[in-house]
Structure 1
């Protein structure tokens, strides 16, 4: 049966050219209603995540009570949205005695979904059921139930059995038995929904940071010695207040262990703030899955890292002058600058780590594709890859996000540091000072904060005094002499450009996002003069007007350059070609949405640095 598949071979909901769903079970064309979208999405989840083949699933299944088909209050036959059977023979016969679980997709809330499931389950021999209203949005949720026929109830349970498991066989899995999530975005969205769904938005909790802390606890657990995880909750624990507290406390302890090793970012006393019941709900989502995969599994790391970056982008409120760079732009910039194994890579205005994680994935993929598995050469190069990425960011919150991003991308988190990159070099984090100091980084990729129209300009004299771009010429009192004085304020993007140019090694390459005004206004004049004195301008790309929507409509560009060596600076300047392009597509609009599968993200940018040519 034809179905859409991604590069990992997973099935995905598919629309035909007429806008109808092609059912993943039997290929039937179905109207593209929101309810059908939820059902097709959950069919894909059952097939990809839980291993149920299409021949064990059926949709719109008649439900019988004895020999009579059930009808609703309006006299219409009752149909279960989706049914999973014990085997393909039972599915073919629609054998009510061999049902594994029934799925209700069309009831919009858990209460009505539960009531519908009760009517299905107690009319059949089904041992369990599922209610889901999808995975998109803060209200999206999925609940699993197991039947208790003695009590005449459906009881919430922590997990759904996989295709090769029975309901009663689900126990505390070994770490080696944890599955690989096929749709990590779904897991992150579901965790977020579980937190918001418990009313946390009405309290003074930073839900995004608590989600990060819980993820770090999960990673800490998977990386720790021992066959069995501590990040778990059994069904018996789930059903008692004492058990839920015990499970939550295990997760809190795992985060404390991680935080103790990283006090430079997680100060004493920092903890998971949300209540125990909220932690428990996230445990039920994540406990069947492994978030730490084989170091060489570049595809899995790419998916994991991208999902985390999208999660943080969509759930963090913007900070003054700081915006999350469209991942398509980040990927294009990394490909053009083309970082290599052994080169130190730096983002001095790192935010949540988008550039460094993308660069790390890029270098790792190059290593994996160019070396043989298990060889010392590959091991050494992969070790270089994770130890050669560096980030400096003034916000402790964003450094935490960046560390988590690197862990979800395959480590390298030690290079994610807190510091003011505009201050003196010697005042920066010791890790940066000792390993990526002035003149060391061979690659700089960054999107510094912009002043915009607000009050984000830099006014501290000790900082401004370090920069040529923070000085201006003035006439002396006699009108004859021209002197120089420190400006009272300067835009941070101008200072960051000068700092990056100074920080970069000779012969090093830089890609930096700047306001379009940098190219043609007097404010950027001194910086442009420094550029041509100290570097070769390799290319300029004017970005699409929606590149940073819905955060800001500031028009932006990307400047690519290579820093001259001392010998090159001593030579007379000669004419050379400069690549110039205009972005035609960016994969999003000015509305608050994000589409990460749009082809042609930046016209003319998806070319290697050696192939920069006109578009």
Structure 2
């Protein structure tokens, strides 16, 4: 998008004082405030009238007095037909960019009241917030207004029913004929504002809640992107814009608007169905907005070019908007950008790598993986923007990866749709993002989605931040029994096998470790964010043991307590990097452990010692029961029910339990020592990050230790 202020300064139309608090319109020799948001909108609008619409600067006046009964108001801008500035031609009302839809509609009415209060006839009214504009033709004699797609440029008498066409800059400019506009590339901040304004306009009236409004806005953004991708001839109008009906076609103002809305509704529905036919998984339900609401959203988005907007800018804009909306309710679906970038940067992901996030949330890990491959493509084909052959290779390099190698699973349908839209906005990668429980078996996933890409043992990388704190219960999810970590661990020091093997429940993050193992091919990498309890609590030793058997542990990077506080989670966590053993390596490791266990059991006469203690306990219990029986002249059964026996027996069992615990503890220590001596030893990268680029509230900070840690970890992984 043009930087009108910069151009205005260069061409000498305006100047700014040193602290940029005042603006001087040099062609008027007038100085005004430049502090408020609406001041900037007004300055840009004046310059657009000169630069885009070719109106002579001398015919433009600002803050023109308008008598309203006994009050005197000021019209922001008036463009005159004559050099003497006696015949008003266009009245412009400027509002700040963040103006609400209700306030914007009030501004339209205010502009009309000014137009009708002016002593002379005025032809046109333009209301703008900088990110949204409405144009009207005024007829005081008929007390009517006719909405137009644009105001006429200088010297133009007739305005077409639309404003935006494909490749408008290639059309010849003929004096006296309307100039059409192409779509504009805008920056991240403005795009974020447009998304937010459109969203607020949908729910502020109360017909939709914010969550429903987000879904409907998603659908319209999808239509916008699809419209931009449609092949068009030079000068052909876009469908995603307000196309007006002339007053010659329909004299009644209200009927004209209904016809315009109906035509727009039909064009949007056609775009939606055309796009949905190509990918039925993107949106399963229909657009549920009224034609008037669709018109409102189109008004915010019709002028921008999402396709040409910088990928990072539009991605950040969508994520910022999406994050600001979902953060409170769905904070767990968003992994902070700094952590995502750190994880993806250190992993050797290539264009032919198959990548999966088993709980992808808004798609952050997948997007960074895509960006990593796209950056590599740009390095390999640096002239892709100007060289057709290089462009073909550049596009194929990353696009094939996006379409065929990126996979995501998200249990929330709404967040899954948001992830798809996030990927679509980044140009692609949404094809293999599915809505499903990430812990169900591969066959069920493939049957549900008809996507055969989710096969166990086929992925090179799994990068994920699973939801923390939820428990999968056997009574709710039958698949728990299919998980090794859903079963009670086998204790090599147990002398009897527990009758019930399956656990009542297991934390989801533990099961995601195993699901990652299943999805990975041999030698594949798993990078997963886990609560520190899994890595340190004695009760979770069985999980760590299983990890040892399945994976080569590459690295543990500790994150600060505040890492996820802004997202509503205060659990101390770390990023665990693992590499799946080959079947042979894993079996060899397990067998080596079993040999150590067998040897220690034999050397310590463990089984015979436990059996001997059991006999001692039973003998002492029998002796004590007989003693009480004789003393109190009661039966053996009654003797065992006395308080004396129960108290004595509790002490006896505690004494032997201590003996057993001491033996187990000694043997466990011997086991750990033997493992260290006899099993293959390898280095593990360990790091603690105290500062990670943002604080507990999510506010950016200047220090991010993950950058330096990442460089060292990347070197470490390259040596494996």
Report the TM-score when normalising by structure 2.
Answer: 0.66
2:298 to 283, 293, 300: 283
How many pairs were matched up?
567
Q: Hey, what does 2:199 align to over in structure 1?
A: 192
Q: Hey, what does 1:500 align to over in structure 2?
A: 516
Matches within 5 A, 1:77-476: 83=77, 101-105=92-96, 109-110=103-104, 113-114=107-108, 116-118=110-112, 121=115, 123=118, 127-132=124-129, 142=132, 144-150=134-140, 155=145, 157=147, 169=159, 171-172=161-162, 173-177=164-168, 178-182=182-186, 183-201=190-208, 206-227=212-233, 228-236=237-245, 239-264=256-281, 266-267=283-284, 270-293=285-308, 300-316=310-326, 322-371=332-381, 372-373=383-384, 374=388, 375=390, 376-387=392-403, 388-429=405-446, 434-451=452-469, 459-460=475-476, 462-473=478-489
Change (3 A) 1:105 1:316: closer
Change (3 A) 1:229 1:450: same
Q: CA deviation at 1:487?
A: 0.9
Structure 2 gaps of 5+ residues are 7-15, 169-181, 247-253, 590-678
Whole-Å Cα distance in 2 between the matches of residues 330 and 23 of structure 1? 43
Work out whether residues 325 and 447 of structure 1, in 8 Å CA contact, stay in contact via their aligned partners in 2: yes
User: Is 1:549 matched up with 2:566?
Assistant: yes
Whole-Å Cα distance in 2 between the matches of residues 507 and 49 of structure 1? 63
Change (3 A) 1:41 1:494: farther
Whole-Å Cα distance in 2 between the matches of residues 156 and 214 of structure 1? 26
- Which SS does the other structure have where 1:200 is aligned? coil
Whole-Å Cα distance in 2 between the matches of residues 111 and 154 of structure 1? 17
1:513 to 505, 513, 529: 529
Whole-Å Cα distance in 1 between the matches of residues 372 and 75 of structure 2? 46
Moved more, 411-420 or 163-172: 163-172
Change (3 A) 1:518 1:405: same
- Which SS does the other structure have where 1:465 is aligned? helix
- Which SS does the other structure have where 1:445 is aligned? strand
Q: Hey, what does 1:9 align to over in structure 2?
A: none
- Which SS does the other structure have where 2:333 is aligned? coil
Structure 1 gaps of 5+ residues are 6-14, 136-141, 294-298
Work out whether residues 554 and 685 of structure 2, in 8 Å CA contact, stay in contact via their aligned partners in 1: yes
Change (3 A) 1:39 1:340: farther
Measured against aligned partners, the alpha-carbon deviations of 1:468-489 in whole angstroms (never above 9, x if no partner) come to: 222224899x984254721101
Larger Rg: 2
Change (3 A) 1:481 1:559: same
Work out whether residues 413 and 435 of structure 2, in 8 Å CA contact, stay in contact via their aligned partners in 1: yes
Going by fraction, where is helix more abundant, 1 or 2?
2
Moved more, 498-507 or 193-202: 193-202
Q: CA deviation at 1:258?
A: 2.6
Moved more, 36-45 or 321-330: 36-45
Change (3 A) 1:497 1:38: farther
Report the TM-score when normalising by structure 1.
Answer: 0.76
Work out whether residues 221 and 230 of structure 1, in 8 Å CA contact, stay in contact via their aligned partners in 2: yes
Change (3 A) 1:407 1:323: closer
